[in-house]
Amino acid sequence: MNAFLHQSENRGHIKADWLDTKYSFSFGDWYNLNYMGVGVLRAINDETIAPQHGFAPHSHSNMEILTCVLEGTICHSDSLGNERHITAGEWQLMSAGQGVQHSEMNQKNHPVRMLQIWIHPNIQDTEPHYQQMRCHSHDQPNRWHLIASASCTTAMCIQQQTEIKTAVLEKYRHLAVQATQKVNYIHVVAGKISIEERILTAGDALLFAEDTQIKALQDSQLIWFDLPEI
């Protein structure tokens, strides 16, 4: 299997007073020429936000921005008029299009941990829009759950020819990866897995092109990005 292992220890790590972030790819004040993204996948930021803090209103354009809340609740507000709470187990997709301003605040008394994922769109300057869904991967383990795709039928609709899936895989169970495109990226959120001869733990990721099998060495949580070639 021809693959590239992106180890957690090679992620960027910046800690401020209220924000602790690990960057899979160059972002903000952390820059590494070896980690500039994978195809249209631009960012996976693993963020822990302290109570009563967060990101003040700021602008985005021409980016598909997914938020996956792992622990706690984040409050989202945007210039489209959305005022939403995203709790652990929920996903949000904000298609920034021609421009949107938003804020993300932890209004609770305990930390929020979330993943913020950026994907380059294949259409520029569209009308911005907002989507949100709950994923039942913990209640329905050992299978892939579709989070976003271009087909807009069974999941959130993303402006890119990609599919994003997640799974909770119980210890010693197997899960197939049937790649429909040439760029596949598995990110381990939690636990420990093996993909052929490679062992991945939390924060690790694997880039590959062929169909494969995943085995959980511990109860694990995964995200699979099925990406187009560019």
Residue 229 has pLDDT above 90, yes or no: no
Q: Which amino acid is at 185?
A: Y
pLDDT in tens, 80-110: 999 999 999 999 999 999 999 999 999 999 9
**What was the pLDDT predicted at 134?**
96
Residue 6 has pLDDT above 90, yes or no: yes
**Distance separating alpha carbons of residues 188 and 4, to the nearest angstrom:** 14
**What was the pLDDT predicted at 1?**
65
∠ CA 194-87-28, rounded to 5°: 70
pLDDT range class, residue 153, cuts 50, 70, 90: confident
- Whether the Cβ atoms of residue 147 and residue 156 lie closer than 8 Å to each other: yes
Q: How far does CA 198 lie from the centroid of its chain?
A: 22
**What was the pLDDT predicted at 181?**
82
Mean pLDDT for all residues in the chain: 96
pLDDT range class, residue 154, cuts 50, 70, 90: confident
Domain 3-227 is found in CATH 2.60.120.10 = yes
pLDDT in tens, 163-182: 999 999 999 999 999 988 88
How far from 44 is each of 88, 141, 223, CA to CA, in Å? 17, 23, 11
| 98 burial type by CB count under 10 A (0-12 exposed, 13-18 middle, 19+ buried) | exposed
pLDDT in tens, 40-80: 999 999 999 999 999 999 999 999 999 999 999 999 999 99
User: In the chain, where are the structural domains located?
Assistant: 3-227
Q: Say what percent of the chain tops pLDDT 90.
A: 92
pLDDT in tens, 22-45: 999 999 999 999 999 999 999 999
81 by DSSP, 3-state: which?
Answer: coil
pTM: 0.96
